Amino acid sequence: MRPGNHTIDEERQGEAVGPRSGNKGGRKLYLESYGCQMNFSDSEIVASILADAGYATTKEEGEADLILLNTCSIRDNAEQRIRHRLQHLKRGKRNNPKLKVGILGCMAERLRDQLLEEEKLVDLVVGPDAYRDLPRLVDEVEGGQKAVNTLLSREETYAEIQPVRLDDKGVTGFISIMRGCDNMCSFCVVPFTRGRERSRDPQSIVSEAHDLFAKGYREVTLLGQNVDSYKWNVDVKGQVKDPEQPIVRFAQLMDLVSDVNPDLRVRFSTSHPKDMTDEVLEVMARKDNLCKYIHLPVQSGHSDVLKRMNRGYTREWYKNRIAAIRRIMPDCAISTDVIAGFCGETLEEHEATLSLMNEVRYEMAYMFKYSERPRTLAERKFEDDVPEEEKGRRLSEIISVQKGHSMERTAAQCGKIYRILVEGPSKKNKEEYQGRNTYNTVVVFSRTDEQPGQYAYVRTTDHTAATLRGESVEEAVAVKEGFVA
């Protein structure tokens, strides 16, 4: 994720590229992805499955025969945004009766009956574990039927499917290493919409990383709801499944992926404080191409709130993990998630969150008001009793504190030379490039001879709370003066 105060689901992104294996039926697919990076990765799997069924992906909504929205249920405003989008598409179908619209992902699993039957907003509803069934379901829809499959799986990982890459820049890519979640945080719908946790074969992950590098990608992000709990060849009781195969946990997996090529940068998201081990940190410290950035959601700075959230750790445990990061990788950047106004949160508990933020001084944070979600433990067990106005006030305080820390952290990165992966033109000025340093901070700099997907050396000279600015320097200068990989 990029530095800032908003998650990626604050925007709608229609993503599309040309067909992978020919457009046998002349049909076109338009995909929109909302929410977490996992949804964007899943959309690439969907594009691959439907490419084999004769669908070419398109960037032009008006060309599409099939529009699929890969959805998010993490907060109510995300769902409402998608509902409005579906209502707009329903009105648009009056001009194109042949157009079919479907939803995928978390919202599909949770609201299938409402969207399909009651509101009649969609023709097709497919949950995260049923994407292989899409060709059959689409055929049903084209035959005049409504189609739905939201069954969850204990086995599905889509390990052998080669995703169609929807990022036409071809610089950074996502690799899903696991699916589902076993944590059961009381505020979260993910275990109910994505099912139980299961990990991919590590060799399929390494193979995908090799393929990305061969295609010109120079950065991969390993994705999971809780990457630190990745485990291969170990059952739920911790027993070895196959004695002839090695046990691979997240630390070993990162080692394997980083060995694909020293020019392939590796990031990951998201970590869980209760599962992060020193072994993971030691691998990160040892490998230059493992980026020195960790997203470690805290949610609250008070142990009583964390207990109500069912997070599985205390304030003290979390601070222990922060201390371990600082000890093993003193320069590592850390970001977090914070929820304001969770059920029963007192003013004292809110102030404990502010005090923890002042202790850690995060580079960046994703900050939200608590939004009660149906089917969660919090909905069943607790009262959403913090008034909306007070939630907003507390959130404003959290944002204000974080802005100061973000400004402080980017200021500390000024005056240094970084090896930057060129991602493309700056969003605000096409005459400049932008990329990120190892700490995940966006760096904007003057155009160089390097092209997107190549590395440039940049001396940073100015900053905002989220962005660094600088000038490119020759590699010889960077080597002589010292640079941050």
Architecture of domain 169-291: 2-Layer Sandwich (3.30)
Q: Which of 422, 412, 157, 409 is nearest to 265 (CA)?
A: 422
Which band of pLDDT confidence, cut at 50, 70 and 90, is reported for residue 6?
A: very low
- What DSSP line would sit under 299-354, residue for residue? B-S-HHHHHHTT-S--HHHHHHHHHHHHHH-TT-EEEEEEEES-TT--HHHHHHHH
- Do 169-291 and 299-309+330-412 show the same overall fold? yes
pLDDT above 80 for 224: yes
Q: What does DSSP say about strands 248-249 and 364-369: parallel, antiparallel, or unpaired?
A: unpaired
Which band of pLDDT confidence, cut at 50, 70 and 90, is reported for residue 363?
A: very high
Q: pTM for this structure?
A: 0.89
Residues whose CB falls within 8 Å of the CB of residue 195, separated by 6 or more in sequence, listed in order: 128, 129, 152, 153, 154, 179, 180
pLDDT above 70 for 10: no
Residues whose CB falls within 8 Å of the CB of residue 250, separated by 6 or more in sequence, listed in order: 227, 228, 229, 230, 231, 277, 280
pLDDT in tens, 73-114: 777 777 888 989 999 998 888 888 889 999 998 888 788 888
Question: For position 26, what pLDDT does the model report?
Answer: 81
Question: So what CATH class is 299-309+330-412?
Answer: alpha beta
pLDDT above 70 for 25: no
pLDDT in tens, 438-478: 999 999 999 888 899 999 999 999 999 999 999 999 999 99
Q: Please give the helix or strand (H or E) that residue 105 lies within, else none.
A: helix 105-110
Angstrom distance (rounded) from CA 194 to CA 226:
13
- What DSSP line would sit under 125-140, residue for residue? EE-TT-GGGHHHHHHH
Which band of pLDDT confidence, cut at 50, 70 and 90, is reported for residue 168?
A: low
The domains of the chain are located at: 8-149, 169-291, 299-309+330-412, 417-481
Q: Which of 149, 167, 150 is nearest to 219 (CA)?
A: 167
* Torsion from C-alpha of 208, 209, 210, 216, nearest 10 degrees: 110
Asked if 218 and 142 touch (Cβ cutoff 8 Å), the reply is no
pLDDT in tens, 343-355: 999 999 999 999 9
Interval 2-16 mean pLDDT = 34
CA torsion sign for 56, 58, 62, 63 is: negative
- Averaged pLDDT score across all residues of the chain: 91
Backbone angles phi, psi at 174, to 5 degrees: -110, 145
Residues whose CB falls within 8 Å of the CB of residue 228, separated by 6 or more in sequence, listed in order: 250, 271, 272, 275, 276, 277, 280
Q: What angle do CA 107, 223, 375 make, to 5 degrees?
A: 30
Residues whose CB falls within 8 Å of the CB of residue 194, separated by 6 or more in sequence, listed in order: 106, 109, 128, 129, 152, 179, 180, 181, 225
pLDDT above 70 for 15: no
pLDDT above 90 for 359: yes
Angstrom distance (rounded) from CA 297 to CA 270:
8
Ranking 4-8, 338-342, 421-425 by mean pLDDT, the lowest is: 4-8
pLDDT above 60 for 265: yes
Angstrom distance (rounded) from CA 43 to CA 163:
8
Question: So what CATH class is 8-149?
Answer: alpha beta
Reply yes or no: is the peptide bond before residue 270 cis, omega within 30 of 0.
Answer: yes
- What DSSP line would sit under 399-412, residue for residue? HHHHHHHHHHHHHH
CATH number, span 417-481: 2.40.50
- What DSSP line would sit under 172-224, residue for residue? EEEEE-EE------TT--HHHHH-S-EE--HHHHHHHHHHHHHTT--EEEEE-
Residues whose CB falls within 8 Å of the CB of residue 11, separated by 6 or more in sequence, listed in order: none
pLDDT above 50 for 67: yes
pLDDT in tens, 368-405: 999 999 889 999 999 999 999 999 999 999 999 999 99
